[in-house]
């Protein structure tokens, strides 16, 4: 990939949905393995551990993350109970949590929005470089209010090492990861080096990946246009003391990926309506200086990002810590077909947040803070279905927790203001929303916890929902926004039971999310040309409810068996029908075998059932079975180097599979049988 102005490019090359849960007995306690290490959820702000959270939460880190890591965030998390991916080919995959996606699932980079264009269209990628992530957190419940009332589905927080938070003991530490696969001839690698002396530390990191169109089941040919190429680099510098740190980092990412099933229909206005005729490009001729080997439509994306992060302990009387996060991004991408640029998207975003953790007051310890963000978005060209807008959002939030014996209580409150100004127009829309939640965790016996939470959250309409006006090839619709949309109000209830250590482990939860004034794209028939469906953004009440969980037992000293699964139903209330793209029921089993002190083996199989609960004009999706096997070797050298070698085989049955959550599932199969080989070194 050729690119000018790349400052650093040269530097890089989880229900058991059924099961009996017994009160703890001495029999279960006998011969139990050691308790799992406590995992801190950084997005909780109060540094809560997974076992203490009043909602089902997941943290991926270390070797587990390395072995599960995929090219996209959605594919990395997909397979965990309650989480699926809304794939749009190998380069795009947003997480779907409990049937909710898009702007209802907040994706953060160490507590700050990723500030890309991924929520504006399902074919826009999340600008996270998976190979450079240290930890991925999925949180629900009261803690999500800190990051937006719109996060009705949940929050995904991506933790990287771009801004150093400590000085390495030996002055320098480094990590290296290499990976490749057979289904798409993927070649990927990443490195990171942190060096420091005195009170300063410097971080340099980079990654590069290249994947060709992938093989599909039952077909000797490849999936046309399914390529994905990316490179990323980052440089960070921090001042570090025994009470905190302050650091700044610059990063940039460049990516090209194919747009699968991406068809243009040459839509234009005809009086008050739209007409979509045959294929054709209605834009000016443009000599795009890009020499690409793939002829299908693709996206050429670049992003530059600045991050400022700081934390200081015991800053002044009454407070334990102050934490600062600021970020600015300059994002742009071009949608290209042949040698012509169809549409150019530009998004400049900034966000800042300040958190103050106060010391206990009558036993209550909490965080008070503020957040402000600004998004300057524009699209020019064939798919400029959303006018240029300037969105400003400001919020105040409060999160409190109290520990009383075996009970832990938490509650949160957030109020936010939003204004969307349509450029080159007198239109200006303002909204405000108040969200609150409460939860509790009862550790009724050692290692056991019962948790529950309630929330009322308000999501403010997006610019796309308010002002869309035109054809959208990714969804094959003509989208009509509605400037009269009001706040979406969700009432969520969840109850669950978890046990994270001992011979028997499990995490089970049931949830119900009632959303008043749920915003959705209602079908209004075909355009006059009969090519695209016309959809209008409307509001109605909806309900999403389901179960999710995992149930594991240490069958022998070396063998663990885990059952897992999830189910969710989404409907408009009062007979309004099913919601579209709701994940199908899924259940499976995982066997984990310790072969030697260094070698582990894993075999996993799961079944995704046929999805027949479908919305109007949506097709059913067939059932499929996925079988995965893996082998890994962990070691430590005398020189202090830790290493992981792994091999993983996916879709061993070469089954034909389609994701019901995907807009393009009728046209695109998931990849066929695949072998991935990788290594991870740290020293």
Which range among 120-134, 142-156, 277-291, 299-313 shows the weakest confidence by mean pLDDT? Answer: 277-291
Q: How far apart are CA 622 and CA 620, in angstroms?
A: 7
Q: Per residue in 658-669, pLDDT tens? A: 999 999 999 999
Nearest to 659 by CA among 15, 71, 78: 78
Hey, what are 173's tokens? 């530490």
Parallel, antiparallel or unpaired: strands 488-499 and 244-258:
unpaired
Segment holding 498, helix H or strand E:
strand 488-499
Parallel, antiparallel or unpaired: strands 577-578 and 586-594:
unpaired
DSSP three-state, residue 103: helix
Which range among 84-88, 105-109, 521-525 shows the weakest confidence by mean pLDDT? Answer: 521-525
Q: How far apart are CA 314 and CA 385, in angstroms?
A: 50
> Could you give the dihedral angle defined by the CA atoms of residues 558, 60, 210 and 655, in that order, rounded to the nearest 10 degrees?
60
DSSP three-state, residue 92: coil
User: Is the pLDDT assigned to residue 264 strictly greater than 60?
Assistant: no
User: Is the pLDDT assigned to residue 286 strictly greater than 50?
Assistant: no
Q: Per residue in 572-594, pLDDT tens? A: 998 889 999 999 999 999 999 99
220 Cβ contact list (under 8 Å, min separation 6): none
> Could you give the dihedral angle defined by the CA atoms of residues 509, 514, 520 and 526, in that order, rounded to the nearest 10 degrees?
90
Select, from the ranges 45-54, 145-154, 642-651, the one with the highest average predicted confidence (pLDDT).
Answer: 642-651
Parallel, antiparallel or unpaired: strands 154-160 and 105-109:
parallel
Q: What is the pTM of this model?
A: 0.89
Segment holding 283, helix H or strand E:
none
Q: How far apart are CA 252 and CA 9, in angstroms?
A: 9
For the chain, the average pLDDT equals: 88
> Could you give the dihedral angle defined by the CA atoms of residues 401, 404, 406 and 409, in that order, rounded to the nearest 10 degrees?
-30
Q: How far apart are CA 505 and CA 19, in angstroms?
A: 12
Output Rg (C-alpha) for the chain, integer angstroms: 25
Where b means 16+ CB within 10 Å and e means fewer, 119-143 reads bbbbbbbbbbbbbbbebbbbbbbbb
DSSP three-state, residue 388: coil
Q: How far apart are CA 498 and CA 56, in angstroms?
A: 9
Q: Per residue in 441-473, pLDDT tens? A: 999 998 899 999 999 999 999 999 999 988 888
Alpha helices, DSSP H, located in 300-342: none
Nearest to 475 by CA among 515, 523, 519: 523
DSSP 423-434: TTSS-EEEEEEE
The full set of domain ranges for the chain reads: 14-554
Q: Which residue has the tokens 């209605």?
A: 282
Q: Which residue has the tokens 């990654």?
A: 207
User: How remote is the C-alpha of 326 from its chain's centroid?
Assistant: 20
Q: Per residue in 386-429, pLDDT tens? A: 999 999 999 999 999 999 999 999 999 999 999 999 988 878 89
Residues 331 and 350: beta-carbon distance below 8 Å: no
Residues 345 and 378: beta-carbon distance below 8 Å: yes
DSSP 180: E
Hey, what are 5's tokens? 């102005």
Nearest to 213 by CA among 221, 205, 203: 221
HEC string of 189-214?
A: EEEEEEEEECCEEEEEEEEEEEECCC
Mean pLDDT across 59-83:
92
Confidence at residue 559, expressed as pLDDT on a 0 to 100 scale:
97
Select the CATH number that applies to the domain covering 14-554 from these four: 2.40.170.20, 3.40.718.10, 3.40.50.10860, 3.40.50.720: 2.40.170.20
Residues 336 and 383: beta-carbon distance below 8 Å: no
């Amino acid at each position: 990939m050729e690119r000018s102005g790349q400052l650093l490019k040269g530097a890089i090359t989880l229900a058991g949905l059924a099961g009996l849960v017994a009160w703890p007995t001495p029999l279960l306690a006998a011969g139990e393995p050691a308790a799992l290490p406590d995992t801190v959820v950084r997005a909780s702000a109060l540094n809560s551990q997974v076992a203490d959270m009043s909602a089902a939460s997941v943290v991926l880190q270390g070797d587990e993350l390395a072995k599960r890591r995929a090219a996209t965030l959605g594919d990395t998390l997909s397979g965990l109970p309650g989480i699926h991916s809304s794939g749009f080919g190998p380069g795009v995959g947003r997480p779907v949590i409990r049937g909710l996606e898009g702007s209802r699932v907040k994706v953060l980079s160490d507590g700050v929005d990723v500030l890309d264009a991924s929520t504006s269209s399902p074919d826009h990628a999340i600008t996270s470089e998976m190979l450079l992530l240290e930890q991925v957190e999925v949180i629900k419940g009261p803690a999500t209010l800190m990051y937006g009332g719109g996060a009705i589905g949940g929050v995904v927080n991506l933790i990287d090492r771009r801004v150093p938070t400590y000085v390495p003991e030996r002055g320098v530490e480094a990590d290296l990861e290499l990976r490749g696969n057979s289904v798409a001839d993927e070649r990927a690698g990443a490195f990171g080096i942190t060096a420091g002396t005195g009170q300063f530390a410097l971080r340099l990191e980079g990654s590069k990946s290249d994947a060709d169109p992938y093989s599909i089941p039952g077909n000797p040919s490849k999936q046309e246009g399914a390529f994905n190429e990316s490179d990323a680099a980052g440089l960070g510098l921090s001042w570090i003391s025994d009470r905190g740190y302050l650091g700044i980092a610059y990063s940039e990412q460049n990516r090209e990926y194919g747009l699968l099933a991406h068809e243009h229909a040459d839509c234009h206005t005809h009086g008050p309506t739209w007409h979509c005729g045959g294929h054709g490009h209605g834009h000016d001729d443009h000599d795009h200086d890009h020499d690409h080997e793939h002829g299908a439509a693709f996206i050429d994306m670049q992003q530059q990002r600045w991050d400022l992060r700081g934390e200081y302990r015991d800053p002044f009387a009454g407070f334990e810590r102050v934490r600062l996060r600021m970020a600015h991004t300059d994002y742009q991408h071009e949608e290209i077909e042949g040698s012509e640029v169809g549409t150019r998207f530009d998004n400049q975003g900034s966000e800042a947040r300040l958190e103050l953790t106060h010391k206990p007051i009558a036993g209550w310890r909490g965080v008070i803070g503020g957040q402000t963000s600004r998004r300057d978005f524009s699209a020019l060209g064939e798919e400029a279905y959303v006018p240029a807008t300037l969105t400003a959002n400001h919020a105040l939030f409060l999160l409190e927790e109290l520990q009383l014996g075996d009970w832990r209580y938490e509650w949160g409150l957030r109020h936010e203001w939003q204004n969307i100004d349509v450029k080159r127009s007198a239109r200006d829309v303002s909204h405000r929303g108040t969200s609150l939640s409460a939860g509790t965790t009862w550790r009724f016996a050692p290692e056991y916890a019962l948790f529950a939470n309630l929330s009322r959250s308000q999501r403010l309409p997006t610019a796309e929902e308010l002002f869309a006006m035109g054809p959208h090839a990714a969804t094959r619709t003509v989208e009509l926004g509605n400037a009269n949309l009001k706040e979406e109000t969700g009432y969520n209830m969840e109850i669950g039971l978890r046990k994270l250590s001992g011979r028997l482990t499990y995490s089970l939860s049931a949830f119900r999310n009632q959303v008043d004034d749920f915003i959705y794209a209602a079908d209004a028939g075909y355009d006059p040309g009969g090519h695209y469906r016309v959809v209008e953004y409307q509001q109605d009440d909806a309900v999403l409810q389901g179960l999710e969980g995992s149930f594991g037992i240490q069958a022998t000293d070396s063998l663990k068996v885990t059952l897992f699964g999830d189910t969710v139903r989404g409907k408009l209330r009062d007979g309004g029908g099913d919601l579209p793209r709701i994940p199908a029921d899924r259940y499976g089993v995982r066997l984990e075998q310790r072969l030697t002190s260094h070698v582990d083996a894993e075999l996993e199989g799961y079944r995704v059932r046929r999805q027949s609960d479908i919305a109007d004009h949506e097709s059913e999706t067939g059932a499929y079975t996925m079988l995965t096997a893996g082998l890994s070797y962990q070691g430590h050298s005398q020189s202090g180097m830790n290493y992981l070698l792994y091999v993983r085989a996916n879709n061993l049955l070469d089954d034909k599979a389609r994701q019901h959550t995907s807009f393009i599932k009728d046209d695109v199969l998931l990849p066929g049988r695949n072998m991935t080989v990788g290594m991870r070194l740290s020293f």
